[in-house]
Amino acid sequence: MAKSVTSTRWWWVRHAPVTVNNGRMYGASDPPADLDDGRSFAGLARVLPSGAVWVTSHLQRARDTASTIRANGLNGERPLIETAFGEQNFGAWQGERYDDLETLPGKPPHRFWFTVADHCPPDGESFHDVMRRVVAAIERLTEEHAGRDIVAVAHGGPIRAAVGHAIGLGADQALGFVADNLSVTRLDRIDSRHPGPAWQVLYVNRAPDWKS
């Protein structure tokens, strides 16, 4: 008899910090990450599941973070590269100093993000655009790997989008979540014939496990 419940477990990891940007916005550009925090990488290797499907964005800071976690003794399939999980493209704002962002012409302020969710920076994309592409990729990969653990190494924007999708929030509300570098966010898709929400949120922004 077929199982009545299928649980597909998403383990979202934000990439290691970027320290070479000299106080400038990088967004969808491709600077390297600082991979020197061995303690955190070892902790992630203990927290994350073995034998998982691995997915990273196409940007090197996500790919290198995944490689370094795996090098700390965690096995799993070769990572899939998913461009839909890349960070928001801030277009002409990329390379601007963070301290100068508020003075840019035509930039609506936002309490938690660089701009409001429906605003598209010049030559860039809005957070609404990010959420649409992230959600489409989540639904596709959940169907393709139903019942598996999926480790997704991505960026702050896509992780916020994933949490917002899981609990049915709009793009602007999703920007209220925090995803620190090298944190883990666990979201499970529960497919069942019973009523109730499709997603279960186990934790958001969990620090790496440093226990020996």
Does any domain span residue 1? no
Higher-scoring residue by pLDDT: 106, 58: 58
Residues in Cβ contact with 163 at an 8 Å cutoff, skipping those fewer than 6 apart:
169, 174, 177, 185, 187, 201, 204
Does any domain span residue 25? yes
Does any domain span residue 124? yes
pLDDT at res. 80: 97
Q: What is the mean pLDDT of the chain?
A: 94
What's the structural domain count of the chain? 1
Q: Is the pLDDT of residue 1 over 70?
A: no
pLDDT in tens, 82-138: 999 999 999 999 999 999 999 988 899 889 899 999 999 999 999 999 999 999 999
Report DSSP state, residue 205: E
pLDDT in tens, 14-32: 999 999 999 999 999 999 9
> What CATH number does the domain containing 131 carry?
3.40.50.1240
Does any domain span residue 211? no
pLDDT at res. 33: 98
Query: Whole domain around residue 74: which residue ranges?
Result: 8-206
pLDDT at res. 212: 47
Does any domain span residue 166? yes
Does any domain span residue 3? no
Report DSSP state, residue 195: S
Does any domain span residue 48? yes
Measured CA to CA, the distance from residue 175 to residue 152 in angstroms comes to 19
Closest CA to 155 of 83, 99, 208, 98: 83
